[in-house]
Amino acid sequence: MKISKRAFYMITILSAFLGVLGITVLFISYKVTSWVKNIEQIKLGYLDIFNEHTITINIFAICSITLCIFTTFILLRIIRSNTRKLIAVFSLISSILIGTYLILCLFFYQNLDELIEMNHLIYQPKKIDQSTAEKIRILYSDAEEIKINTTDNINLYGWLIKKSSVKEAPLLIYFGGSGEEVSDMLSIAEGLDGWSVALINYRSYGLSEGKPSMISLYNDANSIYDYFSKRSDIDNKKIVSMGYSLGTGIAVNLSSERSTVGTILVSPYDNYSKLKGKTISNALQLHNMFPLSYFIGESYNSIKKASSIKTPLLCLAGDLDKNIPIEYSNNLVAKWGGEKTMKTIHRGDHSFIFMSGAAWNEIKNFLKIV
């Protein structure tokens, strides 16, 4: 069988295209149906079409693969040399595999942030209603209720705990974890004698308005700092930034952009997208086949900023923390530009900050010397 060179290349391209199309669609269909079966209450958005029309989509994918095999068979009939046949088959298979992988990477790049947002894989907002706010008002009558209007006209709500008798008190600004509503810290904050403590909820947390994102939370932290630094009852030359888990990235960014005298990080990461990339890959049963960390927009790349911060750091990490393994914390501390103290909490899991007296003793000692 003889055909022109142009027709030969057209058949080759068609065969590769059909192979890539069929395998890609079949893989996505399999994964989506697997997520629905194994991940409780997963939200898929438009990808739910792969679950609703599984049979039709799979038939389409199998037909594409069948046509790929058929066109490949035609190519082999055209080529006479056995060596050239082997080269052609190897080239075609390589093209299909590489093409499929690149298309799947593009698929996850386009859809991962939406999947993360819909399923609260980074932010897990915890709201409170007015009745809960009233109970807090009664229980913590000395806590000043704070309302801060951001640069984009979003209202953030929280509290200021005052445990200092001086006219201008030093201030600790606390940034919580991904699922933390900061009123949980009120009782602990009352134990920090000599300091005022600002507990302001992220956007969509507590009573705060808006929708969280990395950029908005960075900007909000700066707004919180600016608000308190202008108050007559705050010593604006003695402000410490403190973060827990997700909040460590916000605390690091604040210390890199505003004048803080120290930073306290509890269960910090070096790069949040690198950490969450592995977590999400496991959650979506992708077995680290794709570089998801590069596709996550909410990177919180703390290690990139660490060397520029010359003020003291206290880092606390639990040796049993499975959410943020201690090596991520060590990586960040190693790059810190100022004086640094790393404390490992023995038998500490990811939540040790809410129950470890030893951890809070370290924090109190740090606050005495900054």
Mean pLDDT, the chain, as a whole number?
93
Reduced to 3 DSSP states, what percent helix, strand and coil does the chain have, rounded to the nearest 5? 55, 15, 30
Read off the pLDDT of each residue in 163-178 and give the average, rounded to a whole number: 95
Question: Are 309 and 255 spatial neighbours (Cβ–Cβ below 8 Å)?
Answer: yes
Q: Is 2 a residue whose pLDDT tops 70?
A: no
- Through-space distance between the first and last CA atoms of the chain, rounded to whole angstroms: 84
Query: Can you give the pLDDT at residue 3?
Result: 65
Q: Is 117 a residue whose pLDDT tops 90?
A: no
Q: Which amino acid is at 59?
A: I
Beta strand pairing status for 169-175 and 196-200?
A: parallel
Residue 238, classed as helix, strand or coil, is: strand
The whole-angstrom separation of Cα 320 and Cα 344 is 10
Q: Which amino acid is at 86?
A: L
Indicate left, alpha or beta for 40 from its phi (over 0: left) and psi (-120 to 50: alpha).
Answer: beta
Q: Which residue has the tokens 């910090």?
A: 268
Quote the DSSP letter at residue 201: P
The whole-angstrom separation of Cα 323 and Cα 138 is 35
Residue 1: pLDDT band by 50, 70, 90 thresholds?
low
The DSSP string of 329-340 is: HHHHHHH-SS-E
CA atoms within 13 A on the CB side of 111: 15
Burial status of residue 263 (CB atoms within 10 A of its CB: 0-12, 13-18, 19 or more) = buried
Task: Kindly provide the residue ranges of all beta strands, DSSP E only, lying in the chain, ordered along the sequence.
Answer: 144-149, 155-162, 169-175, 196-200, 234-244, 262-266, 313-318, 340-345
Query: Can you give the pLDDT at residue 78?
Result: 82
The DSSP string of 32-70 is: HHHHHHHSTT---GGGGHHHHTHHHHHHHHHHHHHHHHH
Q: Is 267 a residue whose pLDDT tops 60?
A: yes
Q: Is 250 a residue whose pLDDT tops 90?
A: yes
pLDDT tens digits along 182-216: 999 999 999 999 999 999 999 999 999 999 999 99
Q: Is 37 a residue whose pLDDT tops 60?
A: yes
Query: Can you give the pLDDT at residue 214?
Result: 95
